A and B are shown apart, each in its own frame.
Chain A
Amino acid sequence: MEHTHEHSHDHERGEVITLAAKSAILIGLGTYFVYNIVSGNLTNYINERFGWLSYVAAALFLLIGGYSLYHLLTEHFPAEKHKHDGGEGEHDHDHDHRDHAHDGHNHLSWGALIVVAIPLVLGTLIPSRPLGAESVDGSVSITAAAGANVTTFAIEPNKRNVLDWLRVFNATDGDYAEVSGQPVDVIGFVYSEPTFAPDQFMVARFTMSCCVADASAIGLPVLWPGAVEQGVWVQVTGVIEVGEFRGEATPLVRAESVAVVEQPEHPYLYP
């Protein structure tokens, strides 16, 4: 395949810039993934069990980006300038044909580069935060999506988290006498709506099976005369009693104490 390497200087520079941008974005994304893994931010976005996928992504990004960079450096900034005159150069020009053929030039449009840079920009500029009270879409559910299994009841009452409690309620099938009086010790973020009674709020968590896309909020209704701030993480201790919430008879928590705590490292619950 014969063709003349008659690039104008600008043409070649354009190609270098594109290739440089491409390498930068790929390596940037790889670094972003590594940072997420190392800093623990990864679990803000996806279920822990898929963490390994991010290792794979980071590795592939760095591999592909690294090769792209290597290609850029060896092709366009070689130690000595090759004479590109009809393929008589010493090294093998075969693999260059893909890049130097006129219809195979880095046809990555600027649009593609900009769009793919968006996650990198958003990821680095905006501080990473897990979903919280402000992300609740609709309302916080008091029915657990996945049913209870045998082991849920085996968990001691004061070791149960919000999800465990909802599953237990689900399993009692309306006969709340079983759970009435049991001690409660849960953490969650405060969520309340104007329609709640003034001494009620919900202590809520987000559950996630796969990733943020399917995250949904669940919570326990709490009776507490004191003031609470929307979105703040609290630890609630108290006892279960049957009361009225959102117009229905539901087991809820009569709180004995509500203390502000730090947001836990793993804020999501995995059903």
Chain B
Amino acid sequence: MVYPVSARLSTLEQEARIEIRRLITVVALIAVGVILLAAVIGTGDDVGTIVSVFATRFLGIFIEAVPFLLLGTLVSGLIEAFISAEDIARLVPRNPFFATLIGTFMGFTFPVCECGVVPVVRRLYTKGLPMSVGVTFLLAAPVINPVVLVSTYAAFGFGNVLILRFAITALVAFVIGLVFAVAARPQDVLQPTSLAPVMGGSGEAIHLPTARKTKRKPLLIGLRDALVMAGDEFFEMGRYLIIGSLLAATMQTLVSQDVLLALGRGPVVSVLVMQGLAFLLSVCSTVDSFLALAFAGTFTTGSILAFLTFGPMVDIKSTLMFAGVFKRRVVLYLILLPLLLTMLIGIWMNLNIAF
């Protein structure tokens, strides 16, 4: 089955975009440099000490987080290499309620990194996964998987944050999935290339015994592909982790406690700030707990949870990828609904629960 190739940008447009992106990057870097210089001068300590403390804090986050990033990408790579979309689509029950429920927890048996979840969902759709289950899986799988469980436990121990992170994610994903199940038709939600080719693209679960099965890869080739993918993904995703860690380390080293507390103590402001950070930093969900930990001393628990539940669902990277699978307006809903739900939950917790 050949899908129509989307129109490519003309080379000129592509070049222009690259140039603009480069310009923005340079300007941003200069601005950051100036701000850092001002902050360093402002503290009064000598530069050598500051650099040393900064490096320790930065490397601390990096060293703790990196094993999880590697494991996450390796596991994703193995899943991609060895498990076909048919296996997954076949396991989904017909009843929309149970299907959505399964979708919420499927990430545990098919862990995919947040970055890999969109292509996986698209492939699942083409194999007949019901539309609402795909939405739920998309939102829940980045958190509800074993690697994130362990890394969140490593960062926060067994306590409120760990339990609530999973509970809130499951709840929000399930609710949004149900909304899609009852209120939307697949044809209005999905891009044409994502609809199942048979049955007029109804998006309902279909079992096609005669459908062409994807050939399973031989073990060694699969392993090798997984390794290569893990390596590439480490650079792709490691970028965001490192930038986020640099930011967190800068914040801990150069920004005074008072400023942080001013931002972090307000029940509403703290949630908004953390959600904004989560969106911008776009850190992989397997390691964002360690970044959140850096803020845990000064920010409210509700805001930390908002960071940990909203970030994996929506960020710059995933927004761009949603556009490839869902229609424009739906992408907007997929951003706004998690934003509002996690925001409300975070604020409610700050106001009502004494952690």
Q: Which residues of A contact B (CB under 8 A)?
A: 22, 26, 29, 33, 36, 42, 44-46, 50, 53-54, 56-57, 60-61, 63-65, 67-68, 71, 95, 98, 106, 108, 111-113, 115-116, 118-119, 122-123, 126-131, 134-135, 137-138, 209-216
* A67:B242 contact, CB within 8 angstroms: no
Query: Of A54, A126, A209, which contacts B51 at CB under 8 A?
Result: A126
* A210:B56 contact, CB within 8 angstroms: no
Look across to chain B and name the residue whose beta carbon is closest to the beta carbon of A94.
B221
- Bound Cα distance from A129 to B239, whole angstroms: 25
B293 proximal to A (CB < 8 A): yes
The proximity string for B residues 110-139 relative to A, scoring 1 for CB distances below 8 Å and 0 otherwise, is 000000000000000000000000000000
> How many residues of chain B have a CB within 8 Å of chain A?
52
* B239:A98 contact, CB within 8 angstroms: no
Q: Give chain B nearest CB distance to A52 CB in angstroms.
A: 9
* B297:A214 contact, CB within 8 angstroms: yes
Give every chain A residue within 8 A of B227 (Cβ-Cβ). Answer: 63-64, 67
* B56:A134 contact, CB within 8 angstroms: no
Could you list 16 examples of A-B contacts with CB < 8 Å? A45-B63, A60-B67, A67-B227, A68-B231, A106-B232, A115-B242, A118-B242, A127-B52, A128-B56, A137-B257, A210-B64, A212-B57, A212-B64, A213-B57, A213-B64, A214-B294
Look across to chain A and name the residue whose beta carbon is closest to the beta carbon of B60.
A212
Q: Give chain A nearest CB distance to B291 CB in angstroms.
A: 8
Q: Which residues of B contact A (CB under 8 A)?
A: 25, 45, 49, 51-53, 55-64, 66-68, 70-71, 74, 154-157, 221, 224-225, 227-228, 230-232, 234-236, 238-239, 242-243, 246, 248, 252-253, 257, 290-291, 293-294, 296-297
Give every chain A residue within 8 A of B290 (Cβ-Cβ). Answer: 210-211, 213
Give every chain B residue within 8 A of A209 (Cβ-Cβ). Answer: 157
Give every chain B residue within 8 A of A60 (Cβ-Cβ). Answer: 67, 70-71, 74, 230
* A33:B257 contact, CB within 8 angstroms: no
* A45:B235 contact, CB within 8 angstroms: no
Closest 8 CB pairs of A and B: A212-B60, A138-B257, A57-B67, A211-B64, A53-B67, A45-B60, A213-B293, A213-B294
